[in-house]
Amino acid sequence: MPDVYPGRARRADVRRETGNGSNVLASPLAAVANLAALRHKKPKRLRLQAGEIVTTGPLAATLPISAGETWQSALEGIALPGLSVSLTS
């Protein structure tokens, strides 16, 4: 299966890391399916409440961050906007 949803992380408009959906339990959809399967097996231990956010994990390796930096993400092949985060102390 080809990698899906390639993603990039940039700091100060310089590409710092590139990753793919396959870095997240084969794909982001597979990660959510895995959560659903676990939830079915152990409903009392894996309670999800309305409004909770489920994240599948990073597409790319995590990198050190510092105050004053601005990081941007970009995804390809899926209709989701990127994210921009400015870090403060």
- The tokens of 40 are what? 């079915």
DSSP 35: H
Q: How confident is the model at residue 68 (pLDDT cuts 50, 70, 90)?
A: very high
pLDDT at 78: 77
Q: State the average pLDDT for the chain.
A: 81
d(CA 60, CA 54) in angstroms, rounded, equals 18
| Of the listed ranges 6-10, 11-15, 26-30, 37-41, the one predicted with least confidence | 26-30
**Nearest-5° angle of CA 64, CA 68, CA 73?**
60
Residue 88: pLDDT band by 50, 70, 90 thresholds?
Answer: very high
Of the pLDDT bands very low, low, confident and very high (cuts 50, 70, 90), residue 35 is confident
Query: Using the 8-state DSSP alphabet, how is residue 45 labeled?
Result: T
Could you tell me the residue ranges of all domains in the chain?
7-86
